Amino acid sequence: MKVLVVGNGAREHALAKKLHADGAEIISAMSKRNPGITAISKRVEIMDIDKADNYDRFKGVDIAFVGPEAPLAAGIADRLSDLGVPVVGAKKNLARLEWSKSYARILLQESGIQGNPEFRICRDLFEVRTFLIDHPNVAVKPDVLMGGKGVKLTGEHLKTPREVEEYASECIRNDGLVVLEEKLVGKEFTLQAFVDGKNVEVMPLVRDFKRAYDGDRGPNTGSMGSFSCPNYGLPDLPTSAVAKGAEIMKATVSSLAETVGEYHGFLYGGFMNTDRGVYLIEYNARLGDPEAINVLALLDDSLIETGFRIVEGKLNKPTFRREATVCVYLVPEGYPEAPQRDKPLSVGTLRNSEPYFASVYEENGIIRTTGSRAVALLARGKSVAEAREKVYSDASAVKGTLFYRRDIAAGV
């Protein structure tokens, strides 16, 4: 079975590793040579993965899995479908849930789906100032893809009303509009799901740690680590909140099927459980990173078979192991603000965990860092504490100009 995996991060390494374990012949399309993906690939194409014309070379593969958001926004799933390749990944007009923040809000509003906070799509400074009168504490969201780094919050990134106006004006100049939302307060959680056009099957829940340093201090990052529990839930998160989030996702998929088309692929919903109920923060048309590592390490079913069920609209309830997982990211010194780039790293003997290469590249047999996260380690266990002990026992085996948080899943 020839399976195309698009992307070169740790999320795609997790996809490729699971597919390879299920018996797939991996064909990889990457913008940089990920050594972990390369090692298990039958064929490697280093290319611009966001350019649709580059995919003609993959005509004849049995199925494709598109990992990152940018290729989906560029219409890669559409192109592969036109070539007769089944694709686990939303087409461009459906992946719009992620690449247009205003579209997602309008869809929920017009479809009568609960989950929207108070928001306004602003096209000039007057509209921004009008919204701020009633909502001085806001989230300012560019309408376009920003690599997870575009959203800014009052009190955290924006200290004064003037800073809010300046950033909102910058977004309007760049994109023609900006989305302002009331700043939500509560417990944040995410739901990841397989979607076959109609059915939405939620995976075990994962909690990640965004701040760079121990104690949840420092700047936000792509994520420094994550954990999942053997009961598939999360501490301090009621099942009613999870059910409400899943209900919002299912209603969204149903609305899309009626108005735009059937959504086939992965869907990630970021939610906030507040005193007033559950609200949608954002949608991603992909799995999270590192959350994908946690859930795919637990998936008992064949991902190849699951992929075909997603494409064919025949999804059944997936089976996951009743184990805990803990994932820890090792990142370049100085990350995220001034990361040390192009530094060599090596992974020694790992006795209790598995490595997943992220934003690195291989040159003349040497693995080097870029400006982002380098290597994730993932361990499983009967409990979160056991998985945590395992993953940290291996962290010293990764050598390089790197650092990592030492408190991922502490006390769980």
> Which pLDDT tens digit goes with each residue over 75-126?
999 999 999 999 999 999 999 999 999 999 999 999 999 999 999 999 999 9
pLDDT of 156: 86
Q: Do 303 and 212 have their domain in common?
A: yes
- Pair 331, 391 in one domain: yes
Same domain, 131 and 204: no
> What's the rounded Cα separation, in Å, for the pair 255 and 270?
18
Q: Do 219 and 283 reside in the same domain of the chain?
A: yes
- Residues 270 and 362 reside in one and the same domain: no
The pTM for the full model equals 0.96
Instruction: Give 60-81 pLDDT, tens digit per residue.
Output: 999 999 999 999 999 999 999 9
Here the CATH number for the domain that contains residue 153 is 3.30.1490.20
The answer to whether residue 97 sits within a structural domain is no
Our count of domains for the chain comes to 4
Is 260 among the domain residues? yes
Assess if residue 102 is contained within a domain: no
Whether 301 and 355 share a structural domain: no
Predicted confidence (pLDDT) at residue 143 exceeds the cutoff of 80: yes
Q: What is the pLDDT of residues 336-384, one digit of tens each?
A: 999 999 999 999 999 999 999 999 999 889 999 999 999 999 999 999 9
Give the least confident one: 45-59, 155-169, 195-209. Answer: 155-169
Q: Which domain holds residue 365?
A: 324-403
Q: Are residues 372 and 307 in the same domain?
A: no
In this model, does residue 149 exceed pLDDT 90?
no
Same domain (yes/no): 202, 162: no
410 belongs to a structural domain: no
Same domain, 291 and 371: no
List pLDDT tens digits, range 238-277.
999 999 999 999 999 999 999 999 999 999 999 999 999 9
Examine the pLDDT at 146 and tell me if it is beyond 90: no
192 and 160 within one domain? no
3-class secondary structure per residue, 240-302: HHHHHHHHHHHHHHHHHHHHCCCCEEEEEEEEEEECCEEEEEEEECCCCCCHHHHHHCCECCC
The reply to whether 412 falls in a domain is no
Instruction: Using the 3D structure, point to which of 127, 161, 182 is the last residue of a domain.
Output: 182
Residue with tokens 């560029």: 74
| Cβ within 8 Å of residue 73, ≥6 positions away | 92, 95, 96, 98, 99, 145
Is residue 79 within 8 A of residue 73, CB to CB? The reply is no
What CATH code is carried by the domain that includes residue 337? Answer: 3.90.600.10
Rounded to the nearest integer, the mean pLDDT of the chain is 97
Domain's final residue, options 137, 166, 182: 182
CB-CB contact of 238 with 259 (8 Å): no
Same domain for 298 and 194: yes
What is the phi/psi pair of residue 189, to 5°?
Answer: -150, 160
Side chain identity at residue 60, one-letter code: G
Residue 203 resides in a domain: yes
Q: Is residue 319 part of a domain?
A: no
* CATH number for position 79: 3.40.50.20
Instruction: Classify residue 49: in a domain, yes or no.
Output: yes
If asked whether residues 168 and 196 sit together in one domain, one would say: no
Q: Select from 283, 312, 341 the last residue of a domain.
A: 312
- Structural tokens at position 147: 């690599």
Tokens describing residue 142: 């560019």
Whichever domain contains 277, its CATH number is 3.30.470.20
Exposed, middle or buried by CB within 10 Å (0-12, 13-18, 19+), for 329? buried
Beta bridge partners of 227: 207, 326
